[in-house]
Structure 1
Amino acid sequence: MEGSRKTPGRKATLTRKEQAAETRERLKQATIRVLGRIGYRQMRIADVTREAGVAVGLFYHYFADLQAVTSEVLSDYMAEMTAKARKVTPSDDLFETLREQYKILIGHFEEQPGLMRCMLQASEEIPEFGEIWKASNRQWTHSFARRLSEALGPEKLDRKTSLLMAYCLGSMSDGVVHEYYVQQNPDLVGCVDSRDQLAEALATLTYRAVFLANPPREKLGAAAAIAVAPAGQ
């Protein structure tokens, strides 16, 4: 039984409760690695326990099934994503705000492309996580819609139109980043040199869609060529 035998080193100093917490966390980290390598649909409990270095039977002491551990690790990661996004200081400059938010989104795909791929799979197959996923996306989209309305003014952009634009623009950016990091489309990979370039390209296209104009030229760097074509024509 876990905690029944003392071993040299750090383990010997842990209480039974601490050992249990450590084992549970080890299983979660193992799940993250397995999800990243092979995805949710191919993952088996034996894959997770082998990765964690524990017996298969011990898994059920901490989690009911694969859905439970997957839902927990993906929910944790979504909370981490949200926390990072909220650290961006609100700015009156929509272009700068967009660029920083896209950098954060791209950073998550760079760090955990397999986990980001699994979020879409799990949102369709794990009801509990699916609700969390939908609520998070809805919250982000409504927040983006409010930002668009503030940037243009409610007299120019009503609530329904701003929400429609937010969903369209959000789907564009999610799709491009997913295709680059998860699907690794060779055409797209060949067009992008850096995270900053991709973030700036998405920010520029979003800005043009909202204002029918280019961002200020002096703010552009890696993706300045995207603003060469006349906007609003």
Structure 2
Amino acid sequence: MPGSRKAKAAETEAALKAAARRVFDRIGYLNTKITDITAEAGRAAGSFYNHFASKEELLESLLADMLAAGDRIVETDSTHDPDFTNREAIRWHIAQYWRFFRANQSVVIALQQAALVDQRFADRLSTLLEPDLRDLADHIRQAGVAEPAAVALAVSSMWHRFAYALLVDRNPLVEGITDDEAIELLTDLTHRGLSGK
């Protein structure tokens, strides 16, 4: 039956993605082999290639899922405000990013690892993330900031690096800082940087 085959294929793809997240979390993206993913998913090794051409393509698919989930939040959350002259609007975006990073930490790390060792993947990753960066630049443009695209890149880099230092590296300089404190700190830095106050 075509419907049941399609459902089985979707189930296998979801199992491979979930397994990849677990394996990336355990041993890291660079150490993960496709057979590690299929074994974790309880699937035959060859089943991987029915869904993904490579480990990089699987990683791109995980990113696409994450970005789509983020878009759904923006579309459905009535408290979303793109006005970056408003401190609370900035805080909302930082809080969403922080939750996104925390919920998808193994994939975020995997994306960074893949980009470090493969320039083609790094270029592809930049392309995939560009729409979100443009959205951030549009929010920043509304605050009357010159060079909004460059500022968006700088701001998003700051958010990402601080989240990485706190949540992944567990840098002793930020030991003991809670999620709320981190979000407030980034909100203050971003708001003051954009407003000049």
Superposition TM-score, scaled by structure 2 size: 0.82
Tell me, yes or no, if the aligned pair for 1:106 and 1:199 is still in contact at 8 Å.
yes
Residue 89 (structure 1) aligns with: 80
Matched AA of 2:190:
T
Secondary structure of 2:94 counterpart: helix
Alpha-carbon distance in structure 1 between the residues aligned to 2:132 and 2:66: 15
Tell me, yes or no, if the aligned pair for 1:71 and 1:128 is still in contact at 8 Å.
no
Q: Count the aligned residue pairs.
A: 192
* TM alignment of 1:113-132, pairs within 5 A: 113-124=105-116, 125=118, 127=120, 130-131=123-124
Alpha-carbon distance in structure 1 between the residues aligned to 2:123 and 2:87: 31
Deviation at 1:91, TM superposition (A): 5.4
**Which is higher, the Rg of structure 1 or of structure 2?**
1
Alpha-carbon distance in structure 2 between the residues aligned to 1:82 and 1:123: 23
Q: Deviations over 1:121-148 (max 9, x none)?
A: 23453846842x3134333333333333
The structure in which a higher percent of residues are helix is 2
Higher relative contact order structure (alpha carbons within 8 Å, sequence separation ≥ 6): 2
Q: Tell me, yes or no, if structure 1 residue 98 matches structure 2 residue 90.
A: yes
Alpha-carbon distance in structure 1 between the residues aligned to 2:48 and 2:128: 29
Secondary structure of 2:80 counterpart: coil
2:143 to 141, 145, 151: 151
2:126 to 134, 146, 151: 134
- Please report the RMSD computed on the Cα atoms of aligned residues, expressed in angstroms: 2.6
Superposition TM-score, scaled by structure 1 size: 0.71
Alpha-carbon distance in structure 2 between the residues aligned to 1:144 and 1:127: 24
> Percent identity, aligned pairs only?
27
* TM alignment of 1:1-233, pairs within 5 A: 15-86=4-75, 87=77, 89-90=80-81, 92=83, 94-124=86-116, 125=118, 127=120, 130-131=123-124, 133-152=125-144, 157-158=145-146, 160=147, 162-190=148-176, 192-193=177-178, 195-213=179-197
Tell me, yes or no, if the aligned pair for 1:180 and 1:189 is still in contact at 8 Å.
yes
Alpha-carbon distance in structure 2 between the residues aligned to 1:168 and 1:129: 18
